[in-house]
């Protein structure tokens, strides 16, 4: 999932550079984390990406949704969903080896989730 994750992080770097730096705000990060959690880590069959991610403008919310939708459609995401446990899927997403071109890792945009016990 390294390529998909790197593309995701680069897209959020670009969004922040384009004037939507609130993408790193706690509220936005928690909402984006929730989306990844409910689509990958512990998938919910009826879950759909929301229209609102806590961005300061409707345009910002649309861009976040589009970035996440592209990530969810990536072939590597589909492969990661097949991993046998929630912990394995979380580990695939929280890959500390993957950074954006700006040097940001997943936690810059999604925070950190403790391992399952």
CA–CA dist 83, 91 (Å, integer): 10
Is-contact 49 65, C-beta < 8 A?
A: yes
CA–CA dist 32, 66 (Å, integer): 12
pLDDT above 70 for 16:
yes
Query: What is the pLDDT averaged over residues 50-59?
Result: 97
pLDDT above 80 for 39:
yes
Mean pLDDT of the chain: 96
Residue 116: what pLDDT? Answer: 75
Share of the chain above pLDDT 90, in %: 96
Greatest extent of the chain over all pairs of C-alpha atoms, in Å: 39
pLDDT above 90 for 117:
no
Query: What tens digit of pLDDT does each residue of 75-116 get?
Result: 999 999 999 999 999 999 999 999 999 999 999 999 998 887
Q: How far is CA 80 from CA 44, 57, 106, 109, in A?
A: 15, 32, 16, 19
Of 54, 38, 33, 50, the closest CA to residue 106 belongs to 33
């Amino acid at each position: 999932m390294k390529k998909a994750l790197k593309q995701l992080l680069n897209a959020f770097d670009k969004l922040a550079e384009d004037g939507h730096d609130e993408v790193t705000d706690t509220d936005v990060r928690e909402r984006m984390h929730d989306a990844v959690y409910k689509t990958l880590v512990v998938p919910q069959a009826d879950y759909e990406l929301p229209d609102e991610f806590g961005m300061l403008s409707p345009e910002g919310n649309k861009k976040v949704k589009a970035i996440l939708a592209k990530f969810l459609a990536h072939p590597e995401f589909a492969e990661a969903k097949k991993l046998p446990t929630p912990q394995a899927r979380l580990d695939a997403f929280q890959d500390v080896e993957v950074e954006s071109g700006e040097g940001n890792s997943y936690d810059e945009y999604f925070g950190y989730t403790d391992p399952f016990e």
